[in-house]
Amino acid sequence: MNKLFGRDFVRFFVLILVQVLVLDHINLHGYANPSLYIYFILLLPFEIPGFLLLLLAFLIGFGVDSFSNSIGLHTFATVLIAYLRPWVIRLAGPPAEYEGNLKPGIADMGFRWFFAYSMVLVLAHQLVLYTLESFRLAEIGSILLKTLTGSILTLALIVVVEYLFMRKR
């Protein structure tokens, strides 16, 4: 358990650093900005208590907001996907039985399950983030385009990172 906690602890800080030092500076023609830091929320164990899930989502969102001067946008979006996560897990089809240390990753759940689960949460995150950033429904076309391109780039990056660092079962 301590080994897993240590791995999640390191992942928390590494993802914040990668997001603020590298990914926040990637902006493809103003329409695509990857949000890899939400990968932390996606990979938390199934049996994590709800209050801890929301607290960790708040902390990682606040960490990104602190360095990117976005005044709560990332915090709100990450807490929202943490709140939606249990329903998305049930929607994607939860595992038949929870084994010890089972995480919602490709190694444990398979590509199809992980992709569906990640896609829903990434789309929700990006839609909320860009809607709050714009805060004008008159720009709905721009919001939807940014949501789509940002989601595709984020999801592709999450899948690549998952394959690079997934543990063998």
Domain residue limits, the chain = 2-165
Distance (Å, whole) CA 32 – CA 30: 6
What's the sign of the alpha-carbon dihedral 115, 57, 51, 165? positive
User: Is residue 2 scored above 60 in pLDDT?
Assistant: no
For residue 137, the model assigns a pLDDT of 80
Contact assessment for residue 118 and residue 155, using Cβ atoms and an 8 Å cutoff? yes
pTM of the entire structure? 0.89
Residue in 1, 161, 158 with CA at minimum distance from that of residue 81: 158
3-state secondary structure at position 152: helix
What percent of the chain clears pLDDT 90, i.e. is strictly above it? 56
pLDDT one-digit tens code per residue, 135-159: 888 889 999 999 999 999 999 999 9
pLDDT value of position 1: 47
Asked if residue 44 lies in contact with residue 54, where contact means CB atoms within 8 angstroms, the answer is no
Tens-place pLDDT, residues 7-65:
888 889 999 889 888 888 887 777 778 899 999 999 998 889 999 999 999 999 999 99
